[in-house]
Structure 1
């Protein structure tokens, strides 16, 4: 998902350096971050998103973040990275430390949406998680990349060790809940919905 300059301008968050902070985010978080900015009236925060599809190749995330920081640094006094570790094995944290910028704590967005402490306490090992974004983009990020649209028999290979699908809902949207239930049925998993709201994401942005 890409947020272009026109979209940013339409949300009243076009960039200039003095007194402004850039949120460099995963495209999967764009809608939620824009909502948080608008709800709180944080007009000094600007948003630049990298493609959400990078999650399919997490080893590329640190370099992509570093490149974006290099491109944007002259325009901002502060940059905050709205990524968790996201499968980089600590490499993103190390790169952010080298660059002298902060990032969201947690192993992935499923953790910080639920709240890192609560997520860790659950200790779930057989749950497959979806957020609002992933429910909307289920075919693009799950069905097609895994080939389940062409080879449904692969379902047991990929998901045989899961027992339930947990939908972490950022919004109260009956349509998304219905679609999440369909996703669970498609994967032959039990269904659970948890309303998380923005979890630790909003808390991480508030100090900015």
Structure 2
């Protein structure tokens, strides 16, 4: 078989162009890379309007405080200050402070994820929170399958409500003393007590 002809060397202008573009990419990558490694990250679009390189991520920033919506129910009526409320537990999101945080990746717990957004921005939950609570008031089987624990397995609750808490991880000393992974502080009411006869909604903002 005849020998393959040797490939010709690229023209000098092309090699020079590659060097120029490589240097430009390295230069433009400096600020995005520095931002990526910084403890005070900012959105990167201002660094590269031509979108040649970027530090991609799902969110531009993550808040440092963690708020959680805790949904509770009761079978007591009427409601008083002594009413005992029982909490629904989700599969992944924080609830019971003594429960060890779970690892679910790569599976995506859609409802738990939506509840996280609901705690950050109550208006986000307006379209679906009330229907969700209504299904809990009916002990809807399909809805309950999305939860880890239903405190009313025999009959549905008469009332449900939602409380807003701020969570943080406990310190080593607190973990040893309280056997709790989370410390939580009540911020206030998220959805007032509601029944099938009395429908409530989350705050608009």
Q: Give the TM-score normalised by the residue count of structure 2.
A: 0.22
Q: Give the TM-score normalised by the residue count of structure 1.
A: 0.22
Q: Which one scores higher on RCO, CA 8 angstroms, separation ≥ 6?
A: 2
Give 1 or 2 for the bigger CA radius of gyration: 2
